[in-house]
Amino acid sequence: MTAVHEPAVTAPADALSVWPASAAEPRAGELTVGGVPLAEVADRFGTPVYVLDEHEVRERCRAYRQLFPDAEVLYAAKAFLCRAMVHWVAEEGLGLDVCSAGELELAVTTGFPPERIVLHGNAKSPRDLDTALRLGVGRIVIDSPSEIARLAAAVGPGGHQKVMVRVVPGISAGGHEKIRTGTDDQKFGLSVTDGHAQHAMARILAHPQLEPTGLHCHLGSQITGVRPYLAAVRRMTGLMARLHAQHGLVLPELDLGGGHGIAHRPGEPALDLTLLARRVRAELVEACAAAGLTVPRLVIEPGRAIAGPAGIALYRVLAVKRSGPHTYVAVDGGMSDNPRPALYGVRYAPRLVGRPGTAVPAPVTVVGRHCEAGDVVAADVELPADVRPGDLLAVPAAGAYHLSMASGYNLVGRPPVVAVADGHARLLVRRESLDDIRSRDVGL
C-alpha cells in the first residue's frame, strides 16, 4: 500500500467561498442564491429543504468538459440524482456512473442514453445485471470474480457486453478512513498485489461475449491533492503493460474514478482541477510511452465536485439550550437528512439568514432533532449570540450525499429539493409525507 501526501490547494477564506457563485448578500442578513432569497424558499417550501443552484451544476459540468476535453466525464449519480439532474447532466454532455438498477432506470426513463451509462457495484444483484442488459448499458464494471460467470451467463453465447475491471492499486487517499477505497483492506475491486486483477482479466477473455474495454480504479473520496492520481496512473499503466505482454491485450480506456475533494468551510482545502487535468494527462502520456502502450482514453467520475457546492440545506431553529460551557442550537433536521457528520466527521459552516444578527458571534454547536447523541449538524461554529427559535440557518456545500443518504429515522420524512435559477424557484423533489410513510406499512 502506498500512502501519498502533499500540500493541498487552500480555498480562500472569504465567507461566501464555499457557496454557489450566484450567492449574494444584497443587504445585511439577506442571502440570495440563483437570484432567489433563501428566506423566501424556506417560507414557500418549508424546512428542512435542499436548494440546488441549476447554473452552478451546469457550470461545473462545463468546467470538467473544458478541463478534460479528451476524456469521458461521467457524473457519479450516487452523489445526488433526480430527473432534473439527469436532464442537466445529459444536456451538458456528461455520461453517468450508476450503482443500482434504481439509479439506472431513473436515468433511462428520464431519457438518458443507456450507452453513456456505466454500472458499478461491489455486489450487484441479479436485478442490477438484468436491468443493465435489458436497457443496454454501455459498460459494466467487474468488481469480483463471481460476477464474470454470472454476467457471461446472463448475456448468453450470442450476446455482447462491454466490461471494465475495477482494480485496487494499493494507494491510500481520501478524507477519512471510511471513504478510502484504493487500498487492499476494503470491499471494493480486485487487487494487483495478489494477482486477482490479472486473473480476472484472463477469465473475462475466456468469454467471447464479454469485451474488456479498460481498467477502473477509485482511490477514495474528498481527495485534495494531485499526487495520488499520478501514482494511480503509474500503477494502472503498469498493469496494462503486463496484460499486453501476457495476452496481447490493448485496452482503450483507463477510468481513474472520482473522489475530487471540495471545501465545506471557508479556508478548507479543495482539489485543483486545472492542475489535476494537466498533470494526469502528462503522466499518462509519459507512462504509456515508457511502457510502449497506446495512450488510452481517460475516464473520470466526479460526483460531489459537481453537486456538492451547488446545494444548500435550510433549517429552522427549534430551540437554543445552554449546558455548562456549551450552547446547543437545535434545528428541525439533522442526521436523517445528513448522516455525514456522524459517519465521516464532516464539518460545515452554517450561516444565519433572513435577518441580520444583532450580537457578536459566539461559539455554538448546531444539533439535529433526532434521538441520537451523534446527531450533530455542525460542531463548534460561530453564530450571532442572539440566535433564537424561529431563525433560519443555511448550510452550504450540501448538494451531495445528503438526500441520497437520507433515512427514515424517527419517521420525520425526507426534505424536498428546490431548484433556483434566474430569480425563480421550482420544486424538483417533493417532501416525503406521513401518507408516503403510511402507504409502505401494509401489515397489521
CATH for 207: 3.20.20.10
At residue 285, what are phi and psi to the nearest 5 degrees?
Answer: -65, -45
Both 290 and 346 in a single domain?
Answer: no
Is 82 assigned a catalytic role? no
Same domain as 377, residue 244: no
CATH no. for residue 428? 2.40.37.10
Whether residue 374 is found in the same domain as residue 283:
no
Torsion of CA 104, 214, 297, 399, to 10 degrees: 30
**Structural domain boundaries, residue 381:** 309-433
What sign results for the dihedral spanned by CA atoms 200, 206, 210, 212? positive
301 carries a ligand binding annotation: yes
Are 223 and 315 in a shared domain? no
Q: Do 90 and 215 belong together in one domain? A: yes
Residue 391 CA, distance from chain mean position: 30
363 is in an annotated binding site: no
Domain boundary among 254, 274, 307: 307
Query: Is residue 37 marked as binding?
Result: no
Let me know how long the chain is: 444
Q: Within this chain, do residues 263 and 319 fall inside the same structural domain, yes or no?
A: no
Determine if residue 40 is labeled as part of a ligand binding site. Answer: no
Residue 43 lies inside a defined structural domain of this protein: no
Cell 463548534, residue located: 380
Amino acid residing at 356: P
Inside any domain, residue 421: yes
Largest CA distance in the chain: 73
Q: Is residue 28 part of a domain?
A: no
The verdict on residue 44 lying in a domain is: no
Q: Is residue 6 part of a domain?
A: no
Q: Are 350 and 385 part of one and the same domain?
A: yes
282 and 313 together in one domain: no
CB 1 within 8 A of CB 168: no
Same domain, residue pair 173 and 298: yes
Residue 179: its pLDDT value, please?
A: 45
What is the tally of structural domains in the chain? 2
C-alpha cell, 124:
450487484
Q: Is 91 annotated as a binding residue?
A: no
The CA-CA-CA angle for residues 186, 191, 196, to 5°, reads: 125
- 144: in domain: yes
Distances (CA, A) of 264 to 211, 224, 290, 335, 442: 41, 12, 39, 17, 41
Q: Computed from CA positions of residues 98, 100, 101, 105, in that sequence, does the dihedral angle turn out positive or negative?
A: negative
In sign, the C-alpha dihedral spanning 421, 424, 428, 431 is positive
Task: Choose one of 256, 276, 307: the last residue of a domain.
Answer: 307
Contacts of 337 (CB under 8 A, 6+ apart): 48, 50, 313, 402, 403, 406, 414, 415
Within-domain flag for 133: yes
Task: State whether 102 and 195 are in the same domain.
Answer: yes
Annotated catalytic residue, options 61, 99, 217, 371? 371
Q: Please provide residue 286's backbone torsions phi and psi, each rounded to the nearest 5 degrees.
A: -65, -45
Contact 162, 138 (CB under 8 A): yes
CA-closest candidate to residue 400, choices 340, 321, 320, 325: 340
- The verdict on 321 and 299 lying in the same domain is no
The model's pTM is 0.93
| Residue 170 annotated in ligand binding | no
* 344 assigned to a ligand binding site: yes
pLDDT the model gives residue 342: 85
Closest to 90 measured CA to CA, from 108, 102, 66: 108
Examine the fold and report which residue of 307, 335, 365 is the final residue of a domain before the chain moves on. 307
* 36 in a structural domain: no
Identify whether residues 153 and 217 lie together within a single domain: yes
Please report, in tens digits, the pLDDT of each residue of the chain (444 residues total): 444 434 333 333 478 999 999 999 999 889 999 999 999 999 999 999 999 999 999 999 999 999 999 999 999 999 999 999 999 999 999 999 999 999 999 999 999 999 999 999 988 999 999 999 999 999 999 999 999 999 999 999 999 999 999 998 877 555 445 444 445 566 677 878 788 888 999 999 999 999 999 999 988 888 999 999 999 999 999 999 999 999 999 999 999 999 999 999 999 999 999 999 999 999 999 999 999 999 999 999 999 999 999 999 999 999 999 988 899 999 999 999 998 888 888 889 999 999 988 889 999 999 999 999 899 999 999 999 999 999 999 999 999 999 899 999 999 999 999 999 999 999 999 999 999 999 999 998
